[in-house]
Amino acid sequence: MSFKKIQAFLFIVVLILLDQWTKFWARSFLAVEGPSTVINQVLEFRYAENTGVAFSMFDKYPFLLTVLITLINLVILVILLRKQKIEIFWIFIFAGAVSNLLDRYIFGFVTDFINPLFVNFAVFNVADVFLNIGLYIYLYFCFFVNSNKS
């Protein structure tokens, strides 16, 4: 395995640890003390358990979701292991997906705690932020970087 690939996997581990630390804090503090306002009428931290996916969709099928998400993560892992160079968007997507999957295996739900108050939105977590960062970088590559090569 190349040094660049080892660096990529180490970065993935750091991102997973960061997310898991924030979720540990949410379970330890917010689950006991209740919501904490960060910025009035803008942002609060509120403990939530999500057995579904985004916006709690499919929350009636946690086992099926866990199996499906495990398979998706395995496919991503195979892709990453086969690639010569791992693009940054894969790092963020894989780290977020694995960290949320760890929650599903350990607790039976994903720990969410970031609650934007200025908009009617789902409560989410740092791993979800990683997934979105990865998606946005991927879309940027698709629409702006790769489109300039033709």
The catalytic residue positions are 112, 128
How is residue 11 annotated by DSSP? H
CA atoms of 11 and 13, how far apart (whole Å): 5
CB atoms within 10 A of CB 31: 14
Q: Which strand ranges, in their side-by-side order, compose the sheet holding 43-50? A: 36-39, 43-50, 110-116
